[in-house]
C-alpha cells in the first residue's frame, strides 16, 4: 500500500473527530516516528510503499486516535523545549504554556553567574526540572512528586537528556518545612476546577491523570497557598517563586501570594490568558 493512499484514508476516517489541521499534525508526527521521514522526505517520495508492519502501526494509531487517545501516548513521547520526553498515562502531557514558564525563568536567569539551588514541586514528566537543568549548567536542581509512577518517568527523562536532577517522593501537602534554603522554587500544581471540566476535551478527561489536574471548586488555590507558605520560610531573601496558574484565577492567586510577603506579578501566555506568576521574597524573616 502506498503511503499516499493511506494518507487519504487517515484523513477521511478522522475528519469527523478532529479539525483538519490537527489531523495533519497527527499524520506528520506518526510518519516521522514510524518511518523516520520528514515532510520534505514524503514530498520527494510520493509513491513510498508501506511494509505490512508499518501499515499495521498506522492502523492501530488510527483506531486509538478515534478513541481520542492523545497522540503523545501513542508515540509514548513528546518534545518539550527542544528535548525529548517519554510520557504515559501516569503523567500530564507537557503543554506549550509550561514551555513559556520555563522560558520566563531562563530569561530571568540569563545573566546569573553563581550556582543556584532550584526546587520544582510536582515533577510529572520532569519537563520543568529537566529543561532547567539542561539549560543551567551551574544549577542544583531538585524535584518532588507525590506519585511514585510519575517519578519513574521523570527519572528516565533526566537520564535520556543527560542531566542530573535530585528527584524525591514527597507529598507537599504533608510537608512542614522544605529543610533547606532555595534560590528559586517553581511549580505547575493541579489547578483545574471541576466546574471547568466541561471545557476540556475527551483526550484530556479520559486519558490524563486526575491527580495532576484537578482541585475542588471550594478550595482551588490549595496548592498555591501551601507552596507559598513553605516558600516564605525556605526561599532565600530576593529568591524567586514561579507558578503556572489557572487563567480564571489570576488576580486571586496574585493576592494570595502577596499575602505571604512576596512582590508578585502576573504574565499572560501567547493567547492572552493570565497563565504565569512570578514572586520575589522581599522580607528577611519567616512569616
Q: What is the mean pLDDT of residues 163-188?
A: 96
Q: What is the mean pLDDT of residues 55-77?
A: 94
Which residues, including other chains, have CB under 8 Å from residue 80's CB and lie 6 or more apart? 94, 98, 99, 125, 127, 131
> Grid coordinates representing 207?
486519558
**pLDDT-based confidence at 285, cuts 50/70/90?**
very low
49 in Cβ contact with 1 (< 8 Å): yes
Is the model's pLDDT at 284 over the cut of 80?
no
| Distance, CA of 100 to CA of 103 (rounded, Å) | 5
Is the model's pLDDT at 205 over the cut of 60?
no
> Grid coordinates representing 244?
503556572
pLDDT in tens, 9-45: 999 999 999 999 999 999 999 999 999 988 888 888 8
**Residue 195 three-state SS:** helix
- How confident is the model at residue 168, as a pLDDT? 97
Which of 114 and 77 is assigned the larger pLDDT? 77
Dihedrals phi, psi of 243, to nearest 5 degrees: -130, 145
Is the model's pLDDT at 172 over the cut of 90?
yes
Widest Cα–Cα separation across the chain: 70
pLDDT over 70 percentage in the chain: 94
In the block, residue with C-alpha cell 532547567: 132
Would you list the domain boundaries of the chain?
3-67, 81-281
| Distance, CA of 141 to CA of 117 (rounded, Å) | 6
Domain 81-281 has CATH 3.40.50.150: yes
Torsion sign, CA atoms 243, 228, 131, 25: negative
Q: Report the chain's mean pLDDT, rounded to a whole number.
A: 91
Is the model's pLDDT at 106 over the cut of 90?
yes
Q: What is the mean pLDDT of residues 225-229?
A: 97
Which residues is 274 bridged to in the sheet?
Answer: 268
In the block, residue with C-alpha cell 483538519: 20
Inter-axis angle of helices 52-66 and 20-35, nearest 10: 150
In the block, residue with C-alpha cell 520528514: 38
- pTM as predicted: 0.90
Amino acid at each position: 500500500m502506498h503511503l499516499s493512499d493511506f494518507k487519504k484514508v487517515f484523513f477521511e476516517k478522522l475528519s469527523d473527530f478532529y479539525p483538519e489541521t490537527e489531523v495533519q499534525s497527527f499524520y506528520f508526527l506518526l510518519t516521522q516516528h514510524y518511518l523516520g521521514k520528514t515532510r520534505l522526505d514524503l514530498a520527494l517520495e510520493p509513491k513510498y510503499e508501506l511494509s505490512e508492519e508499518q501499515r499495521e502501526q498506522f492502523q492501530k494509531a488510527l483506531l486509538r486516535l478515534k478513541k481520542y487517545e492523545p497522540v503523545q501516548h501513542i508515540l509514548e513521547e513528546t518534545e518539550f523545549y527542544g528535548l525529548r520526553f517519554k510520557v504515559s498515562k501516569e503523567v500530564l502531557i507537557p503543554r506549550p504554556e509550561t514551555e513559556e514558564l520555563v522560558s520566563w525563568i531562563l530569561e530571568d536567569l540569563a545573566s546569573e553567574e553563581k550556582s543556584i539551588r532550584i526546587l520544582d514541586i510536582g515533577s510529572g514528566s520532569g519537563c520543568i526540572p529537566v529543561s532547567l537543568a539542561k539549560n543551567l549548567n551551574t544549577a542544583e536542581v531538585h524535584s518532588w512528586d507525590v506519585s511514585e509512577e510519575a517519578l519513574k518517568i521523570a527519572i528516565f527523562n533526566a537520564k535520556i537528556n543527560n542531566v542530573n536532577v535530585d528527584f524525591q517522593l514527597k507529598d507537599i501537602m504533608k510537608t512542614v518545612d522544605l529543610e533547606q534554603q532555595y534560590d528559586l522554587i517553581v511549580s505547575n500544581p493541579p489547578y483545574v476546577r471541576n466546574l471547568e471540566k466541561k471545557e476540556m476535551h475527551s483526550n484530556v478527561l479520559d486519558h490524563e491523570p486526575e491527580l495532576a489536574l484537578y482541585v475542588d471548586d471550594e478550595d482551588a488555590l490549595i496548592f498555591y497557598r501551601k507552596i507559598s507558605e513553605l516558600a516564605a520560610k525556605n526561599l532565600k531573601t530576593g529568591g524567586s517563586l514561579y507558578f503556572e496558574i489557572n487563567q480564571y484565577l489570576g488576580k486571586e492567586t496574585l493576592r494570595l501570594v502577596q499575602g505571604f510577603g512576596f512582590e508578585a506579578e502576573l504574565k499572560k501566555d501567547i493567547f492572552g490568558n493570565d497563565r504565569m506568576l512570578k514572586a520575589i521574597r522581599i522580607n528577611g524573616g519567616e512569616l
